[in-house]
Structure 1
Amino acid sequence: MKKFRIGIDARLANGETGGIQQFIIGLSHGLKLLALNSQEYFFLTLENQDEWLRPYLPDNAKIIHPKPPRHNLAHQVIKSIKPIRAFLEKHPLFLNPSINRVPESDGTFEEHGIHVIHFTNQSAFKTLLPNIYHPHDLQHVHHPEFFSPRQRALREKRYKDFCDRASKISVASEWTNRDLQKHFGIPSEKIVVIPLAPVIQAYMPISTEALTSVQKKFSLPEQYIFYPAQTWPHKNHIGLIKALAHLKNKYSIKIPLICTGFQNDFYREIRKITSSLSLNDQVKFLGFVTPDELQAIYKSSCFLIIPTKFEAGSFPIWEAFNLEVPVACSTVTSLPEQAGDAALLFDPDNIEEMANAILSLWQNPGLREILKKRGLQKVSGFSWEKVAYRFSEIYRELASGLNSNRELI
């Protein structure tokens, strides 16, 4: 049987990219469930950075690595000098041709006879092979304050370039679809909307013994609210912490908060605010956790809180729905579309409104039960097998249309 070779870009360090890593795990799990004999999968991972992916790989998959990068020594030395690096961040086009230089393929996929490339994250590269590209979101357009001038220039240039070069562009929501069309002028027929599923579906269910072990390991409170997110500014940990301080100061109500996720540079600012509001005993950051630990923290929580200021789509909302955990989330971007009537919504920029939503769900077990049932019903139609099937059809379509003399294997 002739087979299509699909290259899947998985160049991630474990724990550093949050939702993108979850997407790749879910996609791999779905492809494993499909077990298609007509396709082979080549996952491109960083050297010594593939252990997070291996448990979920299909039987017809291989791990491959990119070639070692070539470094411009003079450019690296210049960038290593802090004042110069700071200047280049503020003046991105000054002696900085890398802004306009789009990365090119190192030949790894081509040498493995790949027919279609699936770029799962924004950091793609130029190639003549048919490809699917995921821009994920245009946060730099809506919240430029969270990015340096250089970061904004890079995103604007490269996202547009990769979208133009892509055979298909994939997004997870109609909101992002409309946003891409409006900002980049992309034809609607080039974009496919494929709603994702809870990555929890790819994990082995946690045992009662393991759940108890995690509760003891982290000394989880008997009741708490949960927020799993990397500590980016737009995730709005600070707004959430201020809402908890408002409840403490106005009503003398202390609601414990457990946070998980990779702690980047902005974490220091979050900790300063937490300390200044005297909430260190109320707010706990656990960092990046294992799949078992994540499930246990969800299952032991009172409800999930998503105070984000921007989100193309929220994996935690799907995960909470799947595990029958109530949800309160912000009204931004695609979240009202995703959550529907299965979550309690609030304005993330209104601290009092957020605090009132938290208090309402905290004190109302009847409302929590209603949201549990609605959430489970909302997510019941989503699975990674369905997601993988949609992508496998696109792989087949693009590979079948190759303008190449290469024979399929």
Structure 2
Amino acid sequence: MLPLSKHNMKIGFYFECNMKSGGVYQYAVNMLAAFKENKKHDYIIFTLSPDFPFEDFKDSNWKIVPIGFKRIKNSEEGKSVNEEKSVAPTFRRKINLLIINLLRALRLYRVEIFLARLNSKKRALNFEGHGIDLMVYHGPSEMSYLSNIPSLVVVHELQHRFNRQFPEVWSLGQWEKREYLYKNVAKKATIVIVEIDQNKREFCEIYGRDENTVEVIRCAPPIYLTKNVSEEKKKEVALKHSLPPGFLFYPAQFWPHKNHRNLIEAVKILRDKGEIFHLVLPGSKQELWGEYEKVLQKIKDLKIENQIHLIGYADNDEMSALFALCSAMIIPSFMGRIQTPTIEAWFMDKPVLQSNVPGILDEVFDAALLFDPSNPEDIAEKIHSFSKDENLQKQLVLNGKKVLERWSFSNLSNKLNACIDRFDKKSAR
């Protein structure tokens, strides 16, 4: 157990995402940055991720507990680096993946859920013996209800309820797993956090959660983004990926719901009309659903390889430069009323073109040019009209700055820490 301190509480934080998790990773890092501003508590971070930013959390009231890897000294640089504890965990992961694929092929989804629950229950044992008053989870986690420690759980979305046509939320038992997870989170979590008001209403209505125990705390732009990108850095990134100036930018993993193919179709429609637009698509492949290969084939079939730039995963150092180089952010996703790239674009003073999905106007107001994501012709028309209207481009940037005030880091930090402090006072009664 950690030694007692003069701080009010011991806050545990379960960190399981990596940089390729995209917006989820940035949300988790922002939460931790917010906690750094609240000095009156001790923090114990349990991390499965070698991508955890260890160097940023060295204060005396922070302790990091790696799970599944260890920290070693780099003899050449004198810095701490991460490595697997042994070859065995990697081998076990491969065996586990084979078992999962077999269970899915046999449609034994309940067995998979049962085995995953056993693994989560075992992992939750890591939290014991530290005197933790509250465990924080940056996303829905089985451990939040398998552990007896009071929990704060972030629920990012419930899109499996509204977009069942996509395999990543429906097939291979994904729907059943999500339902089981959310029902138990709703039943047992001490505090639930959502990002927008409509998500709160839906979560409470669907799962019977008391609205007084659900907090709306909006996310914020990633703390690594900077507007001060040197010309040298911009040239370096442009040269590395052979990028032309003024491209359209869509950073997203290759899930089917991200809708890359309709966007690519829109680029082809415009080319047939004599308008050439370049599209830059960073993102991880997500091989499970095979969307990357379908996107690649679509590009080849349409013969627009020279206009579509698949640059793979872009790290934090590159992202600011990519924003600086682009003319606009375009987001054709079928899911999500607010997207992390939308907030990033507002922060980086870039105009946004985005899918017109239910509830979107309550979040973006007039800070995005909306289109029908199911209609490549409409996407193409909006790109065309946007490119020809400089006043519209400038107005979208100005509107984005105004809306961004609702999504600031200070807002996230103040509300999150107030939520923790209210729990502290309540538990002290």
**In structure 2, which of residues 298, 311, 315 is the aligned counterpart of residue 286 of structure 1?**
311
Shift in alpha-carbon separation, 1:230–1:56, aligned structure 2, 3 A: farther
Stretch moving more, 327-336 or 290-299: 327-336
Distance 1:148 1:229, change over 3 A: same
Aligned equivalent of 2:8, options 3, 7, 21: 3
The alpha-carbon deviation at position 194 of structure 1 amounts to 0.8
User: What does residue 372 of structure 1 align with?
Assistant: 397
Structural mapping, 1:108-187, within 5 Å: 108-125=126-143, 126-146=146-166, 147-187=170-210
Q: How far is 1:67 from its partner?
A: 6.4
TM-score normalized by the length of structure 1? 0.88
Which letter maps to 1:9? Y
- Cα separation, 2, equivalents of 1:260 and 1:299: 15
Q: Distance in 2 between matches of 1:101 and 1:154?
A: 14
After superposition, where does 1:203-352 map in structure 2 within 5 Å?
205-249=228-272, 251-265=273-287, 266-352=291-377
For 1:57, the aligned partner's letter is F
Higher relative contact order (CA 8 A, sep 6+): 1
Q: TM-score, normalised by structure 2?
A: 0.84
Deviation at 1:324, TM superposition (A): 0.8
Give the AA of the match of 1:207: S
Contact 1:256 1:282 in 2 (8 A): yes
Between the aligned partners of 1:367 and 1:204, the Cα distance in structure 2 is 22
* Contact kept? 1:239, 1:348, Cα under 8 Å: yes
**Separation in 1, partners of 2:190, 2:304:** 50
* Offset of residue 103 of structure 1: 3.1
CA distance in 2, matches of 1:78, 1:54: 28
Please state how far the C-alpha of 1:217 moved relative to its aligned partner. Answer: 1.9
Instruction: Give the aligned residue type for 2:124.
Output: D
Task: Give the distance between the partners of 2:241 and 2:175, measured in 1 at CA.
Answer: 38
Map Cα deviations across residues 254-312 of structure 1 (whole Å, 9 max, x no partner): 21000112221121121111111112111111122122311111111111001000015
Counterpart secondary structure, 1:311:
coil
Q: Tell me, in whole angstroms, the C-alpha distance in 1 between the residues paired with 2:356 and 2:365.
A: 10
Deviation at 1:185, TM superposition (A): 2.1
The one-letter code sitting in structure 2 at the alignment partner of 1:10 is F
**Closer, same or farther: CA 217–80 of 1 in aligned 2, 3 Å:** closer
Displacement of 1:145 in angstroms is 2.7
Q: Which residues in structure 2 correspond to 1:10-21 (within 5 Å)?
A: 10-15=15-20, 17-21=21-25
Q: Which moved more, 1:216-225 or 1:62-71?
A: 62-71
1:23 maps onto 2:27 in alignment: yes
Moved more, 90-99 or 187-196: 90-99
CA distance in 1, matches of 2:286, 2:102: 23
Alpha-carbon shift at residue 78 of structure 1 (Å):
9.1
Q: Does 1:45 align with 2:44?
A: no
Instruction: Say what the alpha-carbon RMSD is for the aligned residues.
Output: 2.9
SS of match in other structure, 1:9: strand
Instruction: Find the counterpart in structure 2 of residue 407 from structure 1.
Output: none
Listed one character per residue, the Cα deviations across residues 43-85 of structure 1 (whole Å, up to 9, x for unaligned) are 22116342xx2354373433212369999x9999697279834
Q: Is 1:57 the counterpart of 2:57 in the alignment?
A: yes
Distance change in 2, residues 1:45/1:364 (3 Å):
same
Q: Any idea what SS the aligned residue of 1:93 has?
A: helix
Q: Quick one: which of 92, 105, 108 aligns to 2:109?
A: 92
Rounded to whole Å, the distance in 2 between the matches of 1:323 and 1:136 is: 23
The Cα shift of 1:206 comes to: 2.9
Instruction: State the alpha-carbon separation in 1 of the partners of residues 17 and 93 from structure 2.
Output: 24
Partner Cα distance (2:116, 2:222) in 1: 34
Does the 8 A contact of 1:99 with 1:154 survive in 2? Answer: no
Q: Distance in 2 between matches of 1:57 and 1:167?
A: 26
Q: Which residue of 1 aligns with 2:80?
A: none
Does structure 2 retain, via aligned residues, the 8 Å contact 1:78–1:84? no
Find the residue that maps to 2:192 and give its secondary structure.
Answer: strand
> Are the counterparts in 1 of residues 154 and 194 from structure 2 also a CA contact under 8 Å?
yes
Output the CA distance in 1 between the equivalents of 2:42 and 2:93: 39
Q: For 1:26 and 1:79, how far apart are their aligned partners in 2?
A: 31
Partner SS for 2:366:
helix
Q: Distance in 2 between matches of 1:318 and 1:25?
A: 16
Residues 298-357 of structure 1: per-residue CA shift (max 9 Å, x gap):
111111001000015311111111111010101114432221101101111122111111
Match of 2:76 in 1: none
Contact 2:337-2:357 within 8 A present in 1 as well: no
Unaligned runs of 5+ in 1: 405-409
Is contact 1:196-1:384 (8 Å) kept?
Answer: yes
**C-alpha distance in 2, partners of 1:378/1:143?**
27
Give the 3 Å change call, closer, same or farther, for CA 56–245 of structure 1 in structure 2: farther
How many residue pairs get matched?
396
User: Residue 13 of structure 2 aligns to a residue in which SS?
Assistant: strand
What is the distance in 2 between the residues matched to 1:346 and 1:301?
20
| CA–CA distance in structure 2, aligned partners of residues 375 and 47 of structure 1 | 33
Give the % identical residues.
25
After the TM superposition, which of the residue ranges 345-354 and 377-386 deviates more from structure 2? 377-386
**Contact 1:173-1:334 at 8 Å conserved across structures:** no
Match of 1:189 in 2: 212
Amino acid at match of 2:57: L
Corresponding residue for residue 407 of structure 2: 382
Letter of the 1:113 partner, please give it.
G
Q: 8 Å contact 2:224–2:316 — kept in the other structure? A: no
Show structure 2 runs of 5+ residues with no match: 1-5, 70-84
Residue 173 of structure 1 deviates from its aligned partner by: 0.7
Q: Do the aligned residues in 1 keep the contact of 2:260 with 2:332 (CA within 8 Å)?
A: yes
